[in-house]
Amino acid sequence: MTEAIVSLQHLQHNLSEIRRKTGEGVRIMGVVKANAYGHDVHRVSETLEQNGVTDFGVANIQEAIELQTGRALKKPASILAFASPLSSQIPFYLKHGIEMTLCNKETLFAAESHAAATGKKLRVHIKVDTGMGRLGLPPAAAMELLRASEQCPGIEVKGIYTHFADSSGDMEFTRRQLRDFLSLASEYEHSSGKQVLRHAANSGAILSLPEANLDMVRPGITLYGYHPAKETGTRLSLKPVMQVEGKIAFLKTVPSGSTISYCRTWRAPATTTIATIAAGYADGYPRALSGKGARVTANGQSFSQVGTITMDQIMVDLGTSSTAKVGDRVILFGWEGPTTAETLADLSNTISYEILCAVSRRADRIFR
């Protein structure tokens, strides 16, 4: 059986590191979308709340409702859904008090209609596209949306926000995004006489562009113990929050020339011991790692994964001197041993975010 060990102490440590970087005057929105990057949204959010976080970011209204109704949060909290909603979803924002991302006038007018029908106010954050090219309006059109929202009594503009496209790499472009965003925010606040919550900084910007902290920051991957890019890898002392472990299910000695797993892609160069580990790509250990030299740790020793990774099992070459036995735990990645989520990401040509999010529900979450 595969286990995902989640260290809530490491989570608290990473939050403290982020606070040290941003300063106490900046609000922190805990980004807990995708089941808190695979770590368990309820336990992660509960821990963040216990450590002073009152703002949470999720992907969509479904995740927002799951968080709000899951009883992890014991105090009033602000939950923002980042997705642009369908009109049919707007009543759920009003019913559950979820803050909505607003990207166009059509959604604004639909939201105003629903708000008027219920007698409730809907809090929104206007999304500004300054260069990500995903959601939101360019600054000029966003200003029109802001002004239109002032004519809607059922709508409360709580914030405006943008998202950086390359906050760990192309800093010239990122600074241009920030300038465009701040220009819009300043113009709106000056013309309306209102102050709104401004937020732009993701993990990369927190590390690389302190002037982007503004009123609130939105750390994601840094909460879970990883830097968004190698260029930022020494700026915070982060600890991985998740460690994924399996157990040795079977051991056998094979002679030189024996082939292992599907398509016979690995051949034993000499007599050796092969361990079958009860974890595969259905647990979140990517098939793309097959034959890439990924290392696992058993009894303090590091061994190489061999052959094609299968749905439920992987094979490991233990050599001839290992003392490992059936039932021993094997660390696939985490804070012990040489292999982290970032290591696996590099080997499989992806990012640590994807490795973490891919750890499936078949891996029991164990909290420490």
- C-alpha R_g of the chain: 24
Identify whether the C-beta of residue 332 lies closer than 8 Å to the C-beta of residue 279: yes
Joined tokens for residue 260: 């292992």
Whether 134 has a binding-site annotation, put simply, is yes
Could you say which DSSP state residue 6 is in?
Answer: E
**How many angstroms separate the CA atoms of 288 and 308, rounded?**
9
Which of 281, 245, 225 lies closest to 364, judged by CA? 245
Q: What residues act catalytically? A: 33, 262
Neighbour-count burial for 140-167, b at 16+ CB within 10 Å, e otherwise: eebbebbeebeebebbebbbbbbbbbeb
| Identity of the residue numbered 36 | A
On whether 329 is known to bind a ligand per the annotation, the reply is no
Across 289-343, the runs of DSSP E, i.e. the strands, are 295-298, 301-306, 314-319, 329-333
Token pair in block for residue 87: 């009109």
Which residue is it, tokens 């979308």?
33
How long is the chain? 368
CA angle 282, 283, 286 (to 5 degrees): 75
Conformation bin of residue 91: beta by default, left when phi > 0, alpha when psi is -120 to 50: alpha
Annotated binding site for substrate: 134, 311
Annotated binding site: 134, 311
